Amino acid sequence: MENKIQIHQFDPVIYPFKIWITIGITDFQLKSNFCNLDYSEISYNLSKDSHAFTDDVRHKETRYVGALINFENKKQITMNNVAHEASHAAKMLFEYIGADIRQHEPFEYVIGWIADCCDQVRKNKFK
């Protein structure tokens, strides 16, 4: 029987874009929940034991657009990995809404918010 993956969804409220954070998602679970992915890239990341990856997705059930951040396991939710993946997700959000990342404060605020979402998942304590 397939383990049920926890998909944590976060809503920045002011942007029409969601953030999903998972730990140890499988290729099957990914394809069951999300579409509009570059599956070859995701499959590559999953097969090479990537510690974390981020990709833009559309949730199949809700049709929301956003970024999926997957960590290999809870130990990989490190400051370094979180900063790296939060930056990717923030760039995806800004590209989606057509904003310029040179508008520093909004961009840095989004990175901080996404990093906090990752920390909530790491601690399993949600605001």
Say if 2 falls within a structural domain: no
In this structure, are strands 52-59 and 65-71 parallel, antiparallel, or unpaired?
antiparallel
Q: Residue 26 has what pLDDT?
A: 84
Q: What is the pTM of this model?
A: 0.88
Say if 96 falls within a structural domain: yes
Say if 3 falls within a structural domain: no
Q: How many domains does the structure of the chain reveal?
A: 1
Say if 1 falls within a structural domain: no
Say if 92 falls within a structural domain: yes
pLDDT digits (tens, 9 = 90+) for 78-119: 999 999 999 999 999 999 999 999 888 999 999 999 999 999
Q: Residue 27 has what pLDDT?
A: 81
Say if 114 falls within a structural domain: yes
Domain that includes residue 16, residue range: 8-123
Separation between Cα atoms, residue 95 and residue 25, nearest integer Å: 25
Say if 40 falls within a structural domain: yes
